[in-house]
């Protein structure tokens, strides 16, 4: 006996198997990101007054990424619609766009991560803090493009300090107590930022690989079983839209609040 | 550190110091042949290791899970020795332990760190590598498609992937014993900040293992739900499904929706351990003296919330398949339908639903306010109602039945009072006021072991004896089955009943010296120390535990011996009504030659006017189904 | 939906997508404006509420139209409604547990 309802809909539920499967999987993904978002809420609500960062992320990059993903969600839907009308050429075009947009998203994200990676907070022996992007370093000194603050709290709310003067600072190594970059270990905001966006980026990568496979080697199935292939495009499209949905919440939560 | 500047990431790259990981992942139980004859066309690897057939996968899960359970039992015996005779070298095994594990087992004595590792891994292995894979994945995989008339699971390749993820997770857990520092030592609950400050990589191994196991469960859950929704045979309406299938359905939902927050939390704790983040590490944490180097600002309570959000539905994952198995066996061996089918179905739904909003009854001692403690107390009390309904329906099913006693029925009957004791003793723990006293005492250990050990595990044994003839065409030996049952029953009670007394007297959990430091003998003249008779129980429990372990030997021998030498039986030796018994033995690929058409409910035993005392679900002739077919699917 | 009830018209899909995309652009701009606005009270609470509200609208559009959730079968709704309920439970009860603690006994 063959497994039924892999392509045709089951009459009483009105759905084919893979669609049930992907929605169930997406439900579990909602709970996964929900766990991380609830961690965000707890950490932020529990943080002492004035010690939760604002404006550490560049809204311009985030906006561009939002538009890229929104566009890719649309090209994904159109790729599926093209399959439904059996227009293979258009399908190829639309999903090629999806893949390019996804790679652009990942590229921008990598740049943002790099930006944090070279951003250092340097505690100096005289009690002040030098904060900025690393330009060069050697045995004797560290050169950053940033500023010096006396109160650590000034580093947190960048929204309230829109006109920051950043200069090139040469810092002697002998004056440094501790030097740490803005990686996940820096504070709980960077921790949850990297974890949330990192897991999201992994999902983008996974989705891109699946869509690329279906666009490339997997599209052989178009010749033998176009209906089943269309279902695969639909199911992978649903996953992609979910990843876009997560970003719809990530962007405002991390960049705008 | 050689440089006087603390810079992270470091400017001068240091030599990375990697400990060599001994790869003792030689479990290999998934590789055991199952003994029953398979087709010759697909090769060995395709048939037994990388099979996509749900029956093969079910047996793979079953044998692997039973092996892990045996290992977990062994860990328990070592711990009970240490509790009864703290600081005394383990007899016979001691030198071997020292040889394998080195310093933590120096002179054959279980050090406190090693005890903690055994404790944490015993819990983890029994729950995640033993009971859940056996109850949900093994029995579910083998039986559910058969019971609903399906040719296989909806996604056979995902099914195979989920088994291999489970096996890999199990290997990661197992190998963690052999790395420097040893296995995880922070309990199966892995609370922060302890879990991030113990100087062993075992915690990271535990977390990686958990991620793999959770992935396996998620894939399995998707498969089960999709299969039950989409692949029911024609005529198999929702209300004609055997109770076992309902139980697995709800269990799959619990796994699907409750596991992911723990996966998120596990990811965060892994980052705490490896990437020096502070998700769960509070500000100003001092580790063995100096304040730690992490950024702080995290919340240890957050870990507890996320863990127990899974942890509570998890215990219902442990019990629901067991209830399903017991239901099937009782119906079959009383030759009448189980009492209250509809109540049972509604009850499993209510249990599943409520199980998501009771979790903080594991956290009454974290300084919760009254309002929220009352909320969780209320939902916890309410959830006991459908559980009691289920148990009552099982009991009532016995009334007026033509009861047949065989090994599955013995274990099923034994389950009922044991689960009753376990459930009733949970009530003082669910009530916040009494839990303040009982939390983290041996009372808790006794309670949950009663539900899982003589509870679920008995039901699982019942399932093994019950479905063995369908898998192999032979019955397991009845006499040794009875021996297995009676010895297990007696010794389970002898092991766990005294623990209630110990807990009420104040003996705390997870004490590697068995409470000696709090005993009246050690600190005479101090009030409320542990009296001698309570301490003495440790010895009796040890003897009972050893006997319990020995009582499993007949089962193991019986299991393997009967594959080739058991009493040969036909396709339906128990004269059961459900579809799983209407297939050839063992069922071939695709299970059914032609699609079965179901015309009646699952428990048409002793129908008035029927030719036999059971009427299979596909049987058209004979009296019409006394219940009109419900309209809803 | 492998057998659609009505035949798929690519042009109408493109139109739908264009509309959805434009609305998403507007909502995104609205969120950014709200984030930088000085008129939404002091502190962040009101801003967060407004921004998240707009995000929910955004999500509704993507889920409803792009994932054709609005025309999906009852079964999917049932699964998702349970998910939403438990999601809210996870958040709500966790935050409540954080906020509700005995007062006057511990320094906060």
Which ipTM was obtained for this model?
0.94
The CATH number given to B55-281+295-581 is 1.20.210.10
Query: 10 Å Cβ neighbour count for B623?
Result: 13
In angstroms, the CA A196 to CA B392 distance is 46
Residue C24 φ/ψ, nearest 5 degrees: -60, -40
Query: Angle at the Cα of B87 (from B84 to B89), degrees rounded to 5?
Result: 90
Query: 10 Å Cβ neighbour count for A175?
Result: 16
In angstroms, the CA A233 to CA A210 distance is 10
Q: Give B-chain residues touching A179 at CB under 8 angstroms.
A: 5-8
Residue with tokens 């979790």, as numbered in its chain: B359
Cβ A144 vs Cβ A134: under 8 Å: yes
Q: Give B-chain residues touching C92 at CB under 8 angstroms.
A: none
Q: Give C-chain residues touching B303 at CB under 8 angstroms.
A: none
Pairing outcome for strands B6-8 and A129-137: unpaired
> In this predicted structure, what is the pLDDT of residue B436?
93
Domain spans, chain A: 17-116+186-256, 119-181
B569 CB-side CA count, 13 A:
23
In angstroms, the CA A115 to CA A190 distance is 13
> Is residue C9 less than 8 Å (CB to CB) from chain B?
no
Residue B286 pairs in a beta bridge with B291
Q: What is the separation of C-alpha B467 from the centre of its chain, rounded to a whole number of angstroms?
A: 19
Q: Is the peptide bond before B225 cis (omega within 30 degrees of 0)?
A: no
Range A17-116+186-256 has CATH code 1.20.120.80: yes
In angstroms, the CA B586 to CA B574 distance is 15
> Is residue A38 less than 8 Å (CB to CB) from chain C?
yes
A215 CB-side CA count, 13 A:
22
In angstroms, the CA B12 to CA B7 distance is 9
- Residue of B218, B259, B264 to mutate, testing the A interface (most A Cβ within 10 Å of its Cβ): B264
Pairing outcome for strands B567-568 and B474-475: antiparallel
Q: What is the separation of C-alpha C81 from the centre of its chain, rounded to a whole number of angstroms?
A: 14
In angstroms, the CA C38 to CA B258 distance is 41
Neighbours of chain A (3+ CB pairs under 8 A): B, C
* C32 → closest Cβ in A63, A234, A253: A63
> In this predicted structure, what is the pLDDT of residue B148?
96
In angstroms, the CA C21 to CA C8 distance is 20
> In this predicted structure, what is the pLDDT of residue A182?
95
In angstroms, the CA A227 to CA A86 distance is 9
> Is residue A67 less than 8 Å (CB to CB) from chain C?
yes
Query: Under DSSP, is residue A125 helix (H, G, I), strand (E, B) or coil?
Result: coil
Query: 10 Å Cβ neighbour count for B575?
Result: 16
In angstroms, the CA B621 to CA B600 distance is 11
From the candidate CATH numbers 2.30.30.100, 2.130.10.10, 2.40.50.100, 1.10.275.10, the one assigned to the domain spanning A119-181: 2.30.30.100
> Average pLDDT for residues C53-72, to the nearest whole number?
85
* Structure tokens that stand for B627 in this block: 């219940």
> In this predicted structure, what is the pLDDT of residue C65?
83
> Is residue A187 less than 8 Å (CB to CB) from chain B?
yes
Non-local (6+) Cβ contacts of B490 within 8 A are: none
CB contact under 8 A, B261 and C89: no
Cβ B397 vs Cβ B338: under 8 Å: yes
Cα–Cα separations (whole angstroms), residue B437 to B189, B245, C67, C97: 20, 39, 52, 21
Residue B508 pairs in a beta bridge with B441
> In this predicted structure, what is the pLDDT of residue B1?
36
CB contact under 8 A, B257 and C86: yes
In angstroms, the CA A74 to CA A70 distance is 6
Tens of pLDDT, residues B106-131? 899 999 999 999 999 999 999 999 99
> In this predicted structure, what is the pLDDT of residue B18?
37
In angstroms, the CA C83 to CA B195 distance is 30
CB contact under 8 A, A30 and C62: no
Cα–Cα separations (whole angstroms), residue B15 to B18, B21, B394: 9, 18, 64
Residues of chain B with pLDDT under 70: 1-41, 622-633
Cβ B575 vs Cβ B402: under 8 Å: no
Cβ C42 vs Cβ A49: under 8 Å: no
Strand (E) or helix (H) holding C99 = helix C74-99
Question: Would the CATH topology of A17-116+186-256 be identical to that of A119-181?
Answer: no
Strand (E) or helix (H) holding A124 = strand A119-124
* Structure tokens that stand for B414 in this block: 């034994």
> In this predicted structure, what is the pLDDT of residue C8?
66
In angstroms, the CA B263 to CA B310 distance is 9
Domain spans, chain C: 8-71, 73-102
Residue of C nearest to B300 (CA): C98
Nearest to B443 by CA among B424, B419, B420, B416: B424
CB pairs under 8 A between A and C: 135
CB contact under 8 A, B356 and C75: no
In angstroms, the CA B67 to CA B88 distance is 28
Q: Give A-chain residues touching C24 at CB under 8 angstroms.
A: 70
Query: Under DSSP, is residue A26 helix (H, G, I), strand (E, B) or coil?
Result: helix
> In this predicted structure, what is the pLDDT of residue A215?
95
In angstroms, the CA B607 to CA B619 distance is 12
Tens of pLDDT, residues B205-215? 999 999 999 99
CB contact under 8 A, A3 and B156: yes
Which pTM value belongs to this model?
Answer: 0.91
> In this predicted structure, what is the pLDDT of residue B625?
54
* A81 → closest Cβ in C10, C63, C94: C10
Domain spans, chain B: 55-281+295-581
Q: Give C-chain residues touching B367 at CB under 8 angstroms.
A: 101-102, 106
Cα–Cα separations (whole angstroms), residue C26 to A76, A158, B408, C54, C66: 21, 26, 65, 10, 17
> In this predicted structure, what is the pLDDT of residue B28?
37
Residues of chain A with pLDDT under 70: none
In angstroms, the CA B632 to CA B620 distance is 21
Q: What is the separation of C-alpha B39 from the centre of its chain, rounded to a whole number of angstroms?
A: 33
Neighbours of chain B (3+ CB pairs under 8 A): A, C
In angstroms, the CA B318 to CA B269 distance is 25
The counts of H helices and E strands in chain A are 6, 5
> In this predicted structure, what is the pLDDT of residue B44?
80
């Amino acid at each position: 006996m063959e497994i039924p309802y892999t392509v045709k809909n089951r009459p009483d539920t009105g759905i084919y198997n893979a669609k049930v499967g992907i929605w169930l999987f997406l439900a579990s993904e909602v709970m996964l990101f929900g766990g991380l978002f609830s961690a965000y809420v707890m950490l932020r609500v529990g943080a002492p007054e004035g010690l939760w960062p604002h404006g550490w992320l560049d809204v311009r990059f985030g906006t561009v990424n939002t538009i890229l993903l929104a566009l890719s969600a649309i090209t994904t839907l159109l790729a599926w619609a093209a399959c439904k009308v059996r227009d293979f050429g258009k399908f190829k075009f639309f999903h090629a766009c999806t893949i390019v947009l996804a790679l652009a998203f990942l590229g921008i994200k990598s740049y943002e991560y790099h930006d944090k990676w070279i951003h250092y907070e340097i505690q100096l022996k005289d009690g002040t803090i030098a904060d900025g992007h690393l330009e060069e370093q050697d045995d004797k000194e560290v050169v950053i493009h940033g500023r010096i603050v006396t109160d650590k709290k000034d580093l947190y709310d960048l929204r309230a300090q829109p006109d920051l003067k950043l200069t090139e600072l040469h810092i002697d190594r002998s004056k440094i107590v501790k030097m740490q970059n803005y990686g996940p270990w820096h504070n709980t905001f960077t921790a949850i930022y990297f974890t949330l966006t990192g897991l999201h980026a992994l999902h983008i990568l996974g989705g891109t690989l699946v869509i690329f496979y279906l666009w490339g080697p997997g599209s052989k199935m178009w010749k033998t079983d176009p209906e089943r292939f269309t279902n695969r495009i639909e199911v992978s499209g649903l996953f992609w839209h979910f990843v876009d949905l997560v970003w719809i919440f990530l962007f405002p939560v991390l960049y705008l609040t | 550190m050689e440089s006087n500047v603390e810079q992270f990431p470091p400017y001068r790259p240091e030599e990375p110091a990697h400990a060599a990981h001994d790869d003792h992942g030689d479990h290999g139980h998934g590789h055991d042949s199952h003994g029953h004859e398979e087709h010759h066309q697909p090769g060995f690897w395709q048939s037994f290791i990388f099979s996509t057939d749900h029956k093969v996968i079910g047996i793979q899960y079953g044998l692997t899970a039973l092996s892990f359970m045996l290992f977990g039992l062994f860990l328990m015996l070592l711990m009970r020795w240490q509790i009864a005779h703290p600081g005394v070298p383990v007899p016979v095994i001691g030198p071997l332990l020292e040889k394998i594990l080195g310093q933590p087992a120096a002179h054959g004595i279980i050090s406190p760190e090693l005890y903690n590792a055994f404790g944490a891994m015993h819990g983890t292995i029994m729950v995640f590598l033993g009971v859940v894979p056996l109850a949900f994945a093994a029995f579910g995989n083998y039986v559910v498609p058969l019971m609903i008339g399906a040719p296989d699971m909806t996604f056979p390749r995902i099914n195979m992937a989920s088994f291999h993820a489970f096996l890999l997770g199990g290997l990661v857990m197992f190998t963690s014993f052999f790395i420097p520092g040893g296995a995880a030592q922070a309990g199966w609950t892995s609370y922060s900040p302890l879990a991030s400050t113990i100087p062993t990589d075992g915690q990271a191994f535990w977390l990686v293992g958990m991620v793999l196991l959770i992935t396996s469960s998620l894939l399995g859950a998707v498969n089960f739900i999709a299969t039950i929704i989409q692949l029911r045979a024609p005529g198999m309406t929702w209300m004609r499904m055997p109770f076992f299938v309902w139980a697995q359905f709800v269990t799959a939902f619990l796994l699907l929706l409750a596991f992911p927050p723990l996966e998120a939390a596990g990811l965060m704790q892994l980052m705490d351990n490896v990437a020096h983040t502070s998700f769960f590490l509070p500000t100003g944490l001092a580790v063995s003296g100096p304040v730690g180097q992490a950024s702080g600002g995290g919340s240890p309570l957050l870990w507890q919330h996320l863990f127990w959000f899974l942890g509570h539905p998890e215990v219902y994952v442990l019990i629901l398949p067991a209830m399903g198995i017991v239901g099937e066996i009782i119906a079959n061996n009383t030759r009448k339908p189980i009492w209250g089918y509809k109540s049972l179905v509604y009850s499993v739904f209510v249990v599943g639903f409520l199980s998501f909003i009771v979790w903080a009854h594991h956290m009454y001692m974290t300084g919760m306010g009254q309002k929220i403690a009352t909320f969780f107390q209320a939902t916890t009390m309410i959830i006991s109602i459908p559980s009691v309904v289920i148990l009552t329906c099982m009991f009532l099913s016995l009334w007026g039945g033509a009861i047949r006693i065989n090994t599955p029925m013995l274990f099923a009957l034994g389950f009922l009072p044991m689960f009753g004791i376990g459930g009733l003793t949970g009530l003082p723990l669910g009530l916040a006021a009494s839990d303040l006293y009982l939390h983290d005492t041996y009372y808790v250990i006794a309670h949950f072991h009663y539900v899982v050990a003589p509870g679920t595990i008995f039901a699982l044994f019942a399932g093994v004896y019950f479905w063995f003839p369908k898998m192999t065409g032979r019955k397991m030996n009845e006499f040794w089955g009875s021996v297995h049952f009676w010895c297990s029953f007696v010794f389970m009670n002898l092991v766990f009943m005294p623990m209630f007394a110990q807990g009420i007297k104040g003996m705390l959990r997870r004490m590697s010296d068995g409470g000696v430091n709090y005993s009246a003998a050690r600190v005479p003249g101090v009030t409320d120390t542990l009296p001698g008779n309570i301490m003495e129980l440790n010895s009796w429990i040890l003897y009972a535990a050893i006997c319990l372990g020995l009582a499993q030997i007949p089962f193991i021998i019986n299991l393997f011996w009967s594959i080739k030498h058991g009493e040969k039986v036909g396709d339906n030796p128990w004269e059961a009504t459900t579809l799983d018994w209407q297939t050839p033995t063992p069922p071939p690929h695709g299970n059914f030659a032609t699609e079965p058409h179901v015309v009646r409910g699952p428990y048409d035993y002793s129908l008035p006017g029927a030719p036999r005392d059971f009427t299979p679900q596909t049987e058209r002739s004979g009296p019409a189904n006394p219940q009109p077919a419900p309209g809803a699917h | 939906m492998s057998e659609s009830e009505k035949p798929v018209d690519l042009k109408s899909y493109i139109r739908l997508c264009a509309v959805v995309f434009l609305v998403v652009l507007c909502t995104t701009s609205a969120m950014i404006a709200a984030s930088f606005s000085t008129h939404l009270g002091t502190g962040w609470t009101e801003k967060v509420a407004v921004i998240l509200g707009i995000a929910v609208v955004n999500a509704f559009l993507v889920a409803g139209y792009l994932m054709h959730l609005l025309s999906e079968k009852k079964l999917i709704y049932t699964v998702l409604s349970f998910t939403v309920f438990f999601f809210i439970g996870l958040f709500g009860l966790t935050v409540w547990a954080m906020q509700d603690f005995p007062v006057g006994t511990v320094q906060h």
